Structure 1
Amino acid sequence: MRHKLFILMLLTCSFSWVCFGQYEFSGQIDTKNWEGDIYLSIVRDYRKLSGIYPEQIINKTTPDAFGHFTFSGNNLSPENNMYRIHIDSCPEESKDAAHFTGHCLNSKEVLFVANNKDKITLPFTFDQEIFCSVASTNEKANTFIKIDSLKELMRYEFGSYRSQANWDLNAQKWFKKFQDYGQQLDEPLAELYAYAFLSDRSRDLYNYYLQDLEQTNYYQELAARLNEKYPNQPYTEQFKKELAADYFLIRKPEATPTSNWIYILGFLLIVSLLTNAYFLFFKRKAPAQTPTSLTNQEQKVLDLILQNRTNKEIASEIFVSVSTVKTHINSIYKKLNVSNREEVKSLYKKS
Structure 2
Amino acid sequence: MLLKKLCYIVSLLFIVSSSSALEIKGTINLSERWQPKVFLALLNSPDDIFVASPDFIIAETFINPDGSFEINTQSVPDDERFYRLYLVQGDNASVEFSATQNKNYFHLLLDRQSEIILTATTQNNSLEVMELRGSEASKAIFDFGEKFAEQRGELSRELPKAKSTFLSQELENFIHTIVAGAENPYVGLYALYHIDDKETDFLRNSDFYFNFQKRLEDELPVTPYTEAYSELLDELIGFREFVCEMPGVQPKWKDWLMLVEALIILVLILFLISLSRKFNKMRSRENVTTNNLKPVYDGLTLKQQEILSLLAAGRSNKEIAQELFVELSTVKTHINNIYRQLNVSTRKDAVDFYHSIKK
TM-score (norm 2): 0.56
Q: Does 1:226 align with 2:216?
A: yes
Q: What is the match of residue 213 of structure 1?
A: 205
Greater CA deviation, 102-111 or 63-72?
Answer: 102-111
Give the CA deviation at 1:170. Answer: 5.3
Say whether 1:21 aligns with 2:20.
yes
Residues 47-89 of structure 1 deviation map (CA, whole Å, 9 limit, x = unaligned): 2214531111111112223332210133333322111111213
Pick the structure with greater CA Rg.
1
Q: Please state whether the residue corresponding to 2:151 is helix, strand or coil.
A: helix
Contact 1:42 / 1:82 at 8 angstroms: preserved in 2? Answer: yes
Q: In 2, Cα distance between the equivalents of 1:138 and 1:242? A: 27
Which residue of the partner structure matches residue 197 of structure 1? 194
Structure-2 separation of matches of 1:142 and 1:194: 13
Q: Secondary structure at the match of 1:88?
A: coil
State yes or no: 1:124 paired with 2:116. no
Query: CA deviation digits over 1:12-57, x for unaligned, max 9?
Result: 8776666x32322123241522125321111112222145311111
CA displacement, residues 197-256 of structure 1 (integer Å, 9 cap, x when unaligned): 10x3xxxx4564234334xx2211222233344444333222111111112212325567
User: 2:357 aligns to what?
Assistant: none
**CA RMSD, Structure 1 to Structure 2 (Å):** 4.1
The answer to whether the Cα contact below 8 Å between 1:112 and 1:144 also exists between their aligned partners in 2 is yes
Q: C-alpha distance in 1, partners of 2:37/2:121? A: 21
1:180-329 alignment, distance < 5 Å: 180-198=177-195, 200=196, 205-206=197-198, 208-214=200-206, 217-251=207-241, 252=244, 257-259=261-263, 261=266
Distance 2:47 2:185 in 1: 16
Give the Cα–Cα distance (whole angstroms) in 2 for the partners of residues 130 and 167 of structure 1. Answer: 28
Equivalence map 1:149-188=2 (5 Å): 149-155=146-152, 158=155, 162-164=160-162, 171-188=168-185
Deviation at 1:152, TM superposition (A): 3.0
Query: How many Å separate the matches in 2 of 1:183 and 1:9?
Result: 51
TM-score, normalised to structure 1, is 0.58
> Residue 248 and residue 213 in structure 1: after superposition, are their counterparts in 2 closer, same or farther (change >3 A)?
farther
Question: For the Cα contact (< 8 Å) 1:122–1:131, is it kept in 2?
Answer: no
Alignment gaps of 5+ in structure 2 = 246-253, 273-359
Residue 144 of structure 1 corresponds to 141
Q: Would the aligned equivalents of 2:110 and 2:138 in 1 still touch at CA under 8 Å? A: yes
CA separation of 1:182 and 1:11: change in aligned 2, threshold 3 A: farther
Q: Which runs of 5+ in 1 are unaligned?
A: 268-351
Report the Cα distance in structure 2 between the residues aligned to 1:54 and 1:186, rounded to whole angstroms. Answer: 32
Identity within the alignment, %: 14
Residue of structure 2 equivalent to 1:35: 35
Instruction: Name the stretch that deviates more: 133-142 or 122-131.
Output: 122-131
Aligned residues: 250
